């Protein structure tokens, strides 16, 4: 979309927001964990989670450990959508994610999945200018002081949800300047082995197709398998996790083969739009 068209769409929507009435926060009832006794799938990442019929709730229903929301700054609101033409003033980060997550944590006595203390990852992909959008995101996150993992003066205090900021790279500057924050930075392969610690860059994400030629058909080239495992090994040595996007996601042997290689290499998050498909794969491959 041309920049002028994009700005016009955002400006028009901003005017609409001024008179919009947001739906009640967490208007849907959030019951205690319905999957009590079934382990969460921490390696499952719901790519573009907001495109599912029930954002957040469908992923949690499939026991996913990570969900992704794209945000646009419009006025002082953070709207969730992939492109500006899809923006809806009723679909805010707060109404779709922050308030429901807080309600679920209350229902599950301080954790995301009952009896499990590991944080859910909320990957927030910034689609508008990074610095200003992050500063507004920071104000939103501060409304939930007990929900998010927090970095404070060199120390990380785990919370029920860990927010990781991706997307526009300009978000990095204000984040690095903070001595206290409720979000972390999504690095790229160029950040692997850099001086940035895991307390700032806990996640290394990158485009699979820009780094590997194999798409699941035929044998995985030995050199690419070694490269993949070297990436994971180096990231884990620095206490960082690994995720690739743009991996094949059509059900079939190619996706199964590629997921199997990612799983065997120790990649921490498998990326999908097919919640049921990845749930079935991980249930078949992970040990209880």
pLDDT, tens only, 268-280: 999 999 999 999 9
Query: What pLDDT does 118 receive?
Result: 93
Rama region for 286: left / alpha / beta (φ>0; ψ in -120 to 50; rest): beta
**Among residues 80, 125, 119, 116, which one has the least CA distance to residue 101?**
119
To 5 degrees, how large is the angle CA 198–CA 142–CA 89? 110
Q: Is 239 helix (H, G, I), strand (E, B) or coil?
A: coil
pLDDT tens for 51-79 read: 999 999 999 999 999 999 999 999 999 99
pLDDT tens for 185-242 read: 999 999 999 999 999 999 999 999 999 999 999 999 999 999 999 999 999 999 999 9
**Among residues 249, 186, 263, which one has the least CA distance to residue 220?**
263
Q: Is 155 helix (H, G, I), strand (E, B) or coil?
A: strand
pLDDT band at 32 (very low <50, low <70, confident <90, very high): very low
Residue 142 to residue 174: CA distance in whole angstroms = 15
Task: Kindly tell me if the per-residue pLDDT of 20 is higher than 50.
Answer: no
CB 206 within 8 A of CB 189: yes
What residue ranges define each of the domains in the chain, with the CATH number in brackets?
Answer: 37-186 (3.20.20.190), 188-266+274-281 (no CATH)
Could you tell me what percent of the chain has a pLDDT over 70?
87
Query: What pLDDT does 171 receive?
Result: 98
Task: Kindly tell me if the per-residue pLDDT of 97 is higher than 60.
Answer: yes
User: How far is the first Cα of the chain from the last one, in angstroms, to the nearest whole number?
Assistant: 46
Query: What pLDDT does 38 receive?
Result: 84
Residue 149 to residue 18: CA distance in whole angstroms = 32
pLDDT tens for 117-134 read: 899 999 999 999 999 999
Q: Say what the pTM is.
A: 0.89
């Amino acid at each position: 979309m041309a920049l002028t068209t994009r700005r016009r769409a955002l400006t028009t929507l901003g005017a609409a927001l001024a008179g919009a009435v947001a739906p009640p926060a967490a208007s849907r009832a959030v019951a205690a964990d319905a999957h009590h006794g079934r382990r969460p799938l921490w390696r499952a990442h719901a790519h573009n989670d907001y495109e599912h019929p029930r954002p957040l709730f469908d992923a949690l229903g499939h026991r996913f450990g990570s969900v992704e929301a794209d945000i646009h700054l419009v006025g002082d609101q953070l709207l969730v959508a992939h492109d500006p033409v899809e923006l809806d003033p009723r679909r805010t980060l707060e109404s779709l994610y922050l308030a429901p997550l807080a309600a679920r944590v209350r229902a599950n006595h301080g954790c995301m999945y009952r009896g499990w203390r590991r944080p859910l990852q909320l990957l927030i992909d910034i689609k508008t200018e990074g610095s200003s959008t992050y500063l507004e995101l920071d104000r939103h996150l501060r409304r939930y002081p007990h929900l998010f993992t927090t970095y404070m003066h060199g120390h990380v205090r785990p919370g029920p949800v860990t927010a990781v900021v991706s997307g526009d790279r300009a978000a990095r500057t204000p984040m690095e300047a903070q001595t206290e924050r409720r979000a972390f930075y999504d690095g790229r392969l160029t950040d692997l082995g850099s001086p940035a610690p895991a307390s700032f860059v806990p996640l290394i994400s990158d485009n699979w197709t820009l780094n590997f030629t194999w798409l699941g058909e035929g044998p995985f080239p030995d050199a690419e398998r070694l490269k993949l495992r070297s990436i994971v090994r180096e990231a884990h040595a620095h206490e960082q996790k690994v995720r690739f996007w743009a991996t094949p996601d059509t059900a079939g042997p190619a996706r199964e083969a590629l997921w199997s290689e990612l799983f065997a290499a120790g990649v921490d998050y498998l990326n999908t739009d097919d919640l049921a498909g990845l749930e079935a794969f991980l249930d078949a491959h992970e040990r209880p």
